């Protein structure tokens, strides 16, 4: 919907309100399924935010995250709120930025106990870089109450499961320490959002404020208002991160960026005869110029290339390079691309490229597939 938009999702009302307070003139946006978003801008007006409440649990968060991605086509999805801290050096009120998310309830039960079989999603490199820069600069602390001066930002794993952890000595707590002892925080929704982002080619960042220590004292921490304070810190960091991610109006999902257009230059070709000159300029005089293809190069057959891509996708699944869920999601995007290609309107061309961009996000870890999809995107834009 907007090239400079970010979706922010929360699970609790206190988290929602912490983000909403940072939006200017939020307007109600009703999805056809009944989901209600509030859409507003961050200070300065450069970043538009679509905010929604997903409720508790990874299942609901996955469904509503996918709904938001398809509706707003955001530059990124941020999941923002509170979590339990698992390490003593992560203080109440501190912010944890998830470098990766564990869906820790995956496992196999054997005679000698439960063995972990997690799914893991890493934050995209570019988003991680922006978040680290923001934490170093400390600029995010200028956007909320004075208590933020004591809050620090930590980078590490976040564990997302299906139960509330409030003990250090329970079986579940011991199992977590044994299998996921690098996790800084634990909560119940980030895995669903991360999976939705992965399947839809949208970058996801998880930002959590520490509101308790998952040690049996959650009621006391909540009574001391740490939920609201931690939610405010997480919202402040996330809002500043969103502004940074969209600050230059650049969609961070586009890995086939071209160099910025140059203006104010004139190039004169002084070559004679059959001489060839390579150029990069806004204006050219004294030449006949062919852009994007050699003279006589045939127009690429996108229908045939989509068919070849579909065959390659099937081969990668058959040899185990793609799991079944990723394969099915990628095939669905290819179906959308096929239909869009038959629509010879600007809207059809736009849908074609959007489907390919989502497909590229799904297969980015398979180099051969990712390269072919990127080439198709470039070809499609060249024919526009």
Residues 148 and 240 in one domain: yes
Residues 218 and 92 in one domain: yes
CA distances from 272 to 163, 265, 284 (A): 75, 22, 15
Residues 41 and 159 in one domain: yes
Residues 60 and 195 in one domain: yes
β-partners of residue 159 are 102, 186
Domain total in the chain: 2
Q: What's residue 30's pLDDT?
A: 93
Residues 6+ apart with CB under 8 A from 2: 48, 72, 73, 74
Q: Which of 193, 224, 246 is the last residue of a domain?
A: 246
What sign results for the dihedral spanned by CA atoms 157, 163, 164, 166? negative
Q: What's residue 260's pLDDT?
A: 43
pLDDT tens across 92-141, in order? 999 999 999 998 887 788 887 778 788 899 999 999 999 999 999 888 98
Instruction: Please indicate, yes or no, if residue 206 is contained in any of the structural domains.
Output: yes
pLDDT class for 165, splitting at 50, 70, 90? confident
Instruction: Please indicate, yes or no, if residue 125 is contained in any of the structural domains.
Output: yes
Mean pLDDT lowest among 5-19, 40-54, 76-90, 99-113? 99-113
Residues 240 and 299 in one domain: no
More confident residue, 66 or 295: 66
More confident residue, 216 or 248: 216
* Spatial separation of the C-alpha atoms in residues 224 and 288, rounded to whole Å: 73
**Residue whose tokens read 């070709």:** 269
List the structure tokens of 55.
Answer: 């409720």
Residues 26 and 79 in one domain: yes
Its domain, for residue 325, covers 290-382
pLDDT tens across 145-159, in order? 444 447 999 999 999
Instruction: Please indicate, yes or no, if residue 270 is contained in any of the structural domains.
Output: no
β-partners of residue 51 are 8, 38
Instruction: Please indicate, yes or no, if residue 78 is contained in any of the structural domains.
Output: yes
* Spatial separation of the C-alpha atoms in residues 126 and 149, rounded to whole Å: 26
Instruction: Please indicate, yes or no, if residue 277 is contained in any of the structural domains.
Output: no
Residues 237 and 101 in one domain: yes
Residue 278 pLDDT > 60? no
Instruction: Please indicate, yes or no, if residue 254 is contained in any of the structural domains.
Output: no
Contact at 8 Å (CB) between 144 and 233?
A: yes
Residues 214 and 297 in one domain: no
Q: What's residue 146's pLDDT?
A: 45
Residues 71 and 123 in one domain: yes
* Spatial separation of the C-alpha atoms in residues 232 and 75, rounded to whole Å: 23
Q: What's residue 97's pLDDT?
A: 98
Q: What's residue 286's pLDDT?
A: 53
Q: What's residue 318's pLDDT?
A: 83
Contact at 8 Å (CB) between 26 and 38?
A: yes
pLDDT class for 275, splitting at 50, 70, 90? low
Residues 81 and 230 in one domain: yes
Residues 12 and 99 in one domain: yes
* Spatial separation of the C-alpha atoms in residues 77 and 49, rounded to whole Å: 10
Instruction: Please indicate, yes or no, if residue 166 is contained in any of the structural domains.
Output: yes
């Amino acid at each position: 919907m907007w090239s400079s938009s970010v979706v922010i999702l929360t699970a609790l009302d206190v988290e929602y309100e912490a983000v909403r307070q940072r939006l200017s003139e939020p307007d109600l946006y009703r999805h056809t399924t009944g989901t209600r978003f509030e859409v507003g801008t961050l200070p300065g007006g450069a970043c538009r935010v679509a905010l929604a409440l997903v409720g508790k649990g990874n299942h609901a968060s996955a469904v509503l995250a996918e709904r938001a991605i398809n509706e707003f086509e955001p530059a990124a999805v941020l999941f923002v709120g509170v979590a339990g801290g698992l390490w003593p050096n992560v203080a109440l009120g501190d912010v944890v930025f998830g470098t990766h998310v564990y869906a820790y309830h995956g496992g196999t039960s054997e005679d000698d106990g439960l063995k972990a079989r997690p799914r893991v999603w890493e934050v995209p490199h570019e988003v991680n870089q922006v978040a680290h820069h923001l934490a170093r600069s400390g600029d995010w602390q200028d956007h909320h109450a004075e208590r933020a001066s004591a809050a620090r930002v930590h980078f590490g794993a976040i564990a997302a499961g299906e139960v509330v952890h409030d003990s250090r000595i329970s079986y579940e707590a011991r199992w977590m320490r044994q299998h996921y002892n690098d996790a800084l925080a634990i909560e119940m929704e980030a895995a669903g959002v991360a999976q939705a982002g992965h399947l839809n080619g949208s970058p996801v960042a998880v930002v959590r404020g520490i509101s308790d220590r998952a040690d049996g004292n959650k009621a006391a921490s909540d009574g001391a208002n740490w939920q609201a304070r931690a939610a405010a810190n997480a919202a402040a960091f996330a809002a500043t991160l969103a502004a940074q991610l969209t600050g230059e109006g650049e969609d961070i999902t586009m890995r086939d960026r071209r160099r910025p257009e140059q203006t104010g230059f004139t190039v004169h070709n002084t070559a004679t005869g059959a001489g060839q000159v390579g150029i990069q300029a806004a204006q050219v005089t004294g030449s006949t110029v062919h852009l994007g293809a050699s003279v006589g190069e045939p127009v690429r057959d996108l229908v045939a290339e989509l068919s070849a891509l579909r065959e390659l996708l099937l081969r990668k699944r058959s040899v185990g390079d793609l799991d079944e869920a990723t394969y099915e999601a990628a095939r669905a995007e290819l179906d959308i691309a096929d239909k869009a290609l038959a629509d010879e309107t600007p809207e059809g061309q736009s849908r074609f490229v959007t489907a390919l961009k989502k497909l590229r996000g799904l297969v980015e870890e398979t180099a051969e597939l990712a390269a072919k999809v990127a080439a198709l995107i470039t070809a499609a834009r060249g024919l526009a």
